[in-house]
Amino acid sequence: MALKLTVIGAGYLGTTHAACMADLGYEVLALDVLPDRVDRLAAGDLPFYEPGLPEVLQRNLASGRLRFTTSYAEIAEFGDVHFVCVGTPQQKGDYAADVSHLDAAFSALAPLLTRECLIVGKSTVPVGTADRLAAKLADLAPSPDVALAWNPEFLREGFAVQDTLHPDRIVVGVRSARAEEVLREVYTHQIAEGIPFLTVDFPTAELVKVSANAFLATKISFINAMAEVCEATGADVTMLSKALAFDDRIGAKFLGPGLGFGGGCLPKDIRAFMARADELGVDQALSFLREVDAINIRRRLRMVDLARALLNGSFQGRKVCVLGAAFKPNSDDVRDSPALDVAAAIREEGADVTVYDPQALDNARKVQPTLSFGASALEAAQGSDIVLLLTEWQEFRDLDPEMLGSLVAARNVVDGRNALDAEVWRAAGWTYKALGRP
C-alpha cells in the first residue's frame, strides 16, 4: 500500500509540497486553518503567483489525488506521514522566530494520533525546536508509534516546483531507523534520480537550513560591500563580480550586486539565527550576520541617495517611476521587498511615486496604499523625472530606451539591479547610474 501523505499549512511551502507529492502519485490531504484558503485551493485557484504550480495543482485536484480540508481529525485518520509546513515569521519587535503556529499545529494534531505515523517538520525553525516538539508529541499522542523527523525545505520562489521535485539534496533529521525508512520511501523518486539523501540528527537538520540561508545572504552582502568600495574608488562591481566568479571556489551564483536581498526567508532567517545564537551563548559566532544585515539595508539607502542626487538634491514635487515591487522577479511576494522599501522612502521625501510590477501590484497596494500604481511600465514612466529599476523582471531588461525616453520628462535612470546595458541607455541620451559602478 502506498503511503498516504498529509500536509499541514497550505501556504507557499505546504501548497507546493502537497501538489508536487500528489504529482508523484501519492494521495495527499492538505490542511489549512483558514476556510477561505482551503476553498480557493480546492477550486484550483492558487492564492499566490508561482510559475507552473497552478497546472500541477489543477491536474492533481482533477485526478482526486489531492484534496484540502480544515479538519485535523480527518488528516489524523488519513495520514501515514504528516508534513508540517506552517510559517515561522519574525516576531513583532524582535529578531526571534515566532513558532506559535508550529506549536498550535502540534497541539491540535498530536492528541488525535491513534495509529502509527510519522510527523515530518519542514518549517524553518530555531535549532532545538525538533527536540522540544518530540517531547510534546510523546506527551500528547495516544499511540506509542508516533515518530518525528525534521526535513528542511530549500525551495526558491519562482522555482518552487522544480526545487521540490528535483532538489539539490534531501536532508532528514531522524532518531530511528524506521523514520529514515519511511522517508526513503516517500522520496523514492528523488533518490532514484541520484539526488543525495543525507541522514542526520535533529539539530543538524535544523541548522543545515538556517546556515544555508545565512551563507547565501553573506555572499550577497559580500559583493554589495565590494560595491561600496567600488563607489569610493571608481571601480566597477559588475566586472569585479564577473572576474571573481571564474574562480570556481567562489562561483558566480548569489554574487549579483545591487539592491540586496529581501523576501520572506533570508532577512528573517538570519535575524532568527542571530537571536537563537544569543540564547545559546554563541552570539559571537554569528556577529558577522549583523553586518550582513546592515550592508543589505545600506544598499536601499544608497539607492535613495543616488536618485536624489540625480534630481539635484530633492524629491519635493518630482515624479518618480519605480519599476518593480516584488522582492525578486518571477514572484508576487512583497515581504521585506527592497523595491517597495525604496519607493516608500522616496514617497516620504515628497515625491509623487508611481510603481509598476508585472505580478506584485495587488500585494504592493495592500502594504503601501499611499503609493500610486501604473498598469504598465510605460504608464508608470509617463512624465517622470527619473526611472528607478528596482526588481529585474525580464520585461524591464527588454525595455526600449528610445521609446521610454519619448514618454518621460527627463531621461534619468538608476539601475538598482545592474540589469540594463549602460552603453545602450547612454547612447539613447539617458543619464544612467547604477549601484557600485562609476
Dist CA 296 CA 336 (whole Å): 11
Residue 320 binds to ligand UDX (criterion: CB under 6 A): no
Q: Is the dihedral of CA 236, 237, 240, 241 positive or negative?
A: negative
Nearer to ligand UDX, 128 or 167 (CB): 167
5 among annotated binding-site residues: no
Q: Is 155 annotated as a binding residue?
A: yes
For residue 166, give Cα distances in angstroms to 28, 151, 153, 264, 412.
19, 15, 12, 22, 43
Q: Total number of residues binding ligand UDX (CB under 6 A)?
A: 19
- Answer yes or no: 265 catalytic: yes
Helix segments in 253-399, DSSP class H: 266-280, 287-310, 338-348, 361-367, 377-381, 394-397
Residue 397 has a CB neighbour count (10 Å cut-off) of: 13
Give one word for 383, left, alpha or beta, with left for phi > 0 and alpha for psi -120 to 50.
Answer: left
Does 130 help bind ligand UDX (rule: CB under 6 A)? no
Indicate which single residue of 4, 136, 156, 184 sits in contact with ligand UDX (rule: CB under 6 A). Answer: 156
Question: What is the distance between the alpha carbons of residues 345 and 353, in angstroms, rounded to a whole number?
Answer: 10
Interface residue with ligand UDX among 14, 173, 260, 401 (CB under 6 A) is 260
Question: Of residues 69, 123, 213, 354, which one binds ligand UDX by CB under 6 A?
Answer: 213
Residue 261 binds ligand UDX, judged by CB under 6 A? yes
Residue 100 in 3-state DSSP? helix
Of the residues 254, 349, 378, 407, which one makes contact with ligand UDX according to CB under 6 A: 254
Task: For 4-72, give the secondary structure using H, E and C.
Answer: EEEEECCCHHHHHHHHHHHHCCCEEEEECCCHHHHHHHHCCCCCCCCCCHHHHHHHHHHHCCEEEECCH
Indicate which single residue of 68, 78, 154, 432 sits in contact with ligand UDX (rule: CB under 6 A): 154
Cα–Cα distance, 325 to 262 (Å, whole number): 11
Contacting ligand UDX (CB under 6 A), which of 14, 87, 263, 358?
263
Does residue 255 belong to the site contacting ligand UDX (CB under 6 A)? yes
From the list 221, 228, 225, 227, the residue with the least C-alpha distance to 292 is 221
Q: Considering the rule CB under 6 A, would residue 373 count as an interface residue with ligand UDX?
A: no
Nearby residues of 94 by Cβ (< 8 Å), 6 or more positions away: 275
Catalytic residue among 20, 230, 265, 321: 265
Q: Which of the ranges 47-55, 68-76, 213-221, 401-409 carries the binding residues for ligand UDX, by CB under 6 A? A: 213-221
Question: Segment near ligand UDX (CB under 6 A), from 80-88, 107-115, 137-145, 263-271?
Answer: 263-271
Answer yes or no whether residue 265 interacts with ligand UDX by CB under 6 A: yes
Residue 328 annotated as binding site: yes
Among 87, 262, 324, 416, binds ligand UDX (CB under 6 A): 262
| 27 contacts 60 by C-beta, under 8 angstroms | no
What is the number of the residue whose Cβ is closest to ligand UDX?
256
What residues have CB less than 8 Å from 322, skipping those under 6 apart?
Answer: 339, 342, 343, 346, 353, 354, 355, 356, 371, 380, 388, 390
| Residue 51 backbone class (left: φ over 0; alpha: ψ -120 to 50; beta: rest) | beta
- Which of residues 258, 374, 401, 416 is near ligand UDX by CB under 6 A? 258
* Closest CA relative to residue 431, chosen from 383, 388, 399, 367: 388
Kindly tell me which residue out of 65, 271, 302, 328 binds ligand UDX, with binding defined by CB under 6 A.
328
154 is in an annotated binding site: yes
Asked if 216 touches ligand UDX (CB under 6 A), the answer is yes
Partners of 433 in the beta sheet? 414
| Residue 155 interacting with ligand UDX (CB under 6 A) | yes
Return the range that interacts with ligand UDX (CB under 6 A); candidates 51-59, 151-159, 372-380, 422-430: 151-159
CB under 8 Å to 400, separation ≥6 — which residues?
none
Part of the chain binding ligand UDX (CB under 6 A), chosen from 52-60, 79-87, 152-160, 377-385:
152-160
- Least Å distance, CB 330 to ligand UDX, is 9
- Which residues would be at the binding site for ligand UDX (CB under 6 A)? 154-157, 213, 216, 220, 254-256, 258, 260-263, 265-266, 327-328
Positions at the binding site:
32, 37, 88, 124, 154-157, 209, 254-258, 262, 268, 328, 335
Positions at the binding site for substrate:
154-157, 209, 254-258, 262, 328
Positions at the binding site for NAD(+):
32, 37, 88, 124, 157, 268, 335
Q: Which residues are catalytic?
A: 265
